[in-house]
Structure 1
Amino acid sequence: MFIVKSSEFIKSTSNVCDFPNEGLKEIAIVGRSNVGKSSIINSLLNRKRIAKVSSTPGKTRTINFFLINNSLYLVDFPGYGYAKVSKYERNSWKSMVESYFYNRDVLKKVILLIDSRHDPFESDLIMCNWIKDMKYNLSIVATKSDKLKFAEIKKNDLKFRKNFDVSKILFYSALKNENRNELLNFIFSDI
């Protein structure tokens, strides 16, 4: 079982030259705007405010690096799919994300967060396929599961696994923190 003994925010940057270069393994967290990336990070690391949570979509505009157990980085990405962003800013984010994914030998896994309450968005399916095409180890976490009844979770689990063509999707609520150990193992066990 993976245990988080220590965690700290290291840096926030949009410049490839400023990415950490110690050679530590990295796990990237990606997903649409307001899917709950910051809430999941806070829950995973058992820290209430290590990642800034906002109800305003598109708040995270840089790549944020969190050091875990002095041995690996959790990397938080800006959300995609937010419509009220200029074309220039959208292209800038796209360039930043691509430069990270194409140039990070230390990237060992990508966690794609999806909203458990909604059918898969086209942008989520595109991101999933892009990650698979790049041959990265992929895990999908369906967020905000506290908003669903058990029957809805079962139904959406089947639908999501089929749409994303994966064998397992973990449903999780950062609000309730239930199954946190399962989430930790789901993310960190094969790193």
Structure 2
Amino acid sequence: MTDVAVIDYGMGNLRSVEKAIEHVAGGAIVRVTDDPEVVMRAERVVFPGQGAMPDCIAELEGRGLHQAVVEAAAKKPFLGICIGQQMLFDHSQEGDVPGLGIFAGQVRRFPDEKMVDAAGLRLKVPHMGWNEVWHHREHPLWRDIPDGDRFYFVHSYYVDSADDSVIAAHTDYGVRFTSAVARDNIFAVQFHPEKSARAGLQLLTNFMHWNP
């Protein structure tokens, strides 16, 4: 029976993530946990979250979860969601704080001067709502998800990877930004699969069957 740890560092409502995984995973044991030992024992790890990056990093450190996240990301199927994607990078402009450094690159704020659509109309920040996700390469987590399918976003910052080879998808919102990254056993997304209806549930299903 698959054992999944959903990392809880006090930022965001994680029950929707837990329930979505339980819905697609059959008999899997899904635990929302802030216990580093539970994270280390789990077969699969989900790293979600929402809120401001400085607060997220502080809570992660304060709960002793930093090393557990780094070690889990090094060796088991690992899914980052929203801030859980951003924290995997080197540094964030939000609060000028370091991330976990698992991926090389920066987290940047949407540039206000460029936030217009194709018709020249002003786009709001945060980027909130449904948008298209365009695949950069094949990946098991894209199985049965059409290129350009729509997912649900809520964010004001996005990742700017220093390594194009890890980019798994992009999305356009005033600027073209990386909406998914992948390397080895890690897959991380800016959008919320647990709020993304059929496409999101399919991605979570694919994660539960993924054996990198």
Structure with more strand by fraction: 2
**Relative CO higher for 1 or 2, CA cutoff 8 Å, sep ≥ 6?**
1
**TM-score strictly above 0.5:** no
TM-score range relative to shorter protein: 0.3 to 0.5
TM-score calculated relative to the size of structure 2: 0.38
